[in-house]
Amino acid sequence: MWSFILRRLLVSIPVYLGIILIVMAALRVSDPVYAYLGKNATPETIVAKRAAMGLDEPFLVQYAKFVGRIATLNFGDETSPDPRQRYESWKYAGQSVGLKLRQAVGPSLSVTIPELMLTTTISVIIGMLCAYFRGTWFDRATMALVVMGMSVSVLVFIVLGQKLAGFSLKDAFGIDWFSPSGFEPWWERPFLAFPGDPAERLWGFIPVASPALAMWRYYCLLPVLIYVVVGVGYDTRFYRAVMVEETGRDHITTARAKGAGRAKIMFVHMLKNAMIPVITRVMISLPFLVAGSILLEYQFRIPGMGKLIIDAIRDKDFPIIQAFTAVFAAVFIVTNILTDVLYALVDPRVRLS
């Protein structure tokens, strides 16, 4: 297996270099410095900026240098005296591209990882139950709900969620659980604490609390739940179709003939066989975990990757766009390899070669 991973990684290198080449060329079709400075810029400032960012060098030199940055994972050091070493964001002087990316990954992942895990678990279970009991009132009612959920715009859920959980819950019941928007790096707080104050204890009496998780819940749980509600609709339909296929397999009849109960048939026999489509779907959405959700991050003012890239595009912040694209492509390639490895782990018929 390790040799397979190594081989796939080696094969991906030329592919990745090609992607970077295309991306860099595409970003230079119209002059990025001119786009950033606008039409009122003097020729001198344009030349100065171009030189400062290394964009006056031949394309292949720029390409080699950028590939070098990726290879050494060095997207700038804001403490360095040399402006080329600093590799600053154009919009935010004094902040390197690397710093901007690092700062944005955490907030994105705090929302997207729990969202994907919850959505997948819930959808697989509901999809499986609907498939197993298809045609019954349970299936029909669930599918009707799912279609309704899918038909309503995400924005409706966001606005409703912010209003109900962020404001009404607090006003009506005094439950201050959800912030309507905002973000703080919750991981910087202690994970475990032993508060003396009974009010801060877990469920009021267990003398353990987690300030970090409490803060995560305050800022992230609401966006997570809203996206779970939206995502479950789409995913349930998909997993139901997958599971309907599985219920009709011959070996399911064999399992029933052996005396296996419903739970065993669903959660052992069907689930393991359905893992390939489940993994496919989860892994396809994995790169977008890193990329964050643009709409959600904007609505909840979460300073994540989605917000970063949209702001960068708006501000013509060239180095950020270039670095973000490179990172995204790398994540895509790695998840593809990971997907093949996972296939082989769940299905003995898949051979890694």
Partner 1 sequence: MPAGEPVLSVRGLSACFRTDLGVVTAVDDVSFDLSAGETLAIVGESGCGKTVTSKSIMRLLPERNSFLSDQSRIIYHNRPRRRAAAKDRLPPGEIELAHADAPTMHHVRGARIAMIFQEPMTSLNPVFTIGWQLDEALKYHTDLSRRGRRRRAVEMLRLVEIANPEQRIHEYPHQLSGGMRQRVMIALALCCEPDVLIADEPTTALDVTIQAQILDLMAGLKARLGTAIMFITHNLGVVAQFADRVLVMYAGRVIESGPVRDIFHRPQHPYTRALLDSIPRAGNRHRGRPLATIEGIVPSLLNLPGGCKFADRCPRRRENCVEREPALEPGPDGRPVRCYYPHHEPRVAEPGGRT
Using CB under 8 A, list all residues that contact partner 1. 134-136, 249-251, 253-261, 264, 269, 272-273, 275, 346-349
CB 282 to partner 1: min, Å? 18
Please, are residues 118 and 221 in contact by the beta-carbon 8 Å criterion? no
Q: CA end-to-end span of the chain, whole Å? A: 9
CB 263 to partner 1: min, Å? 11
CB 126 to partner 1: min, Å? 18
CB 266 to partner 1: min, Å? 13
Closer CB to partner 1, 163 or 258, in the complex: 258
Closer CB to partner 1, 190 or 248, in the complex: 248
Closer CB to partner 1, 163 or 272, in the complex: 272
CB 281 to partner 1: min, Å? 18
- For tokens 């290394």, the residue is 54
CB 136 to partner 1: min, Å? 8
Closer CB to partner 1, 128 or 222, in the complex: 128
Closer CB to partner 1, 67 or 346, in the complex: 346
CA distance 179 to 36: 35
Closer CB to partner 1, 20 or 270, in the complex: 270
CA distance 175 to 169: 6
CB 250 to partner 1: min, Å? 4
Query: Distances in Å between the alpha carbon of 199 and those of 149, 208, 218?
Result: 38, 11, 17
Closer CB to partner 1, 270 or 282, in the complex: 270
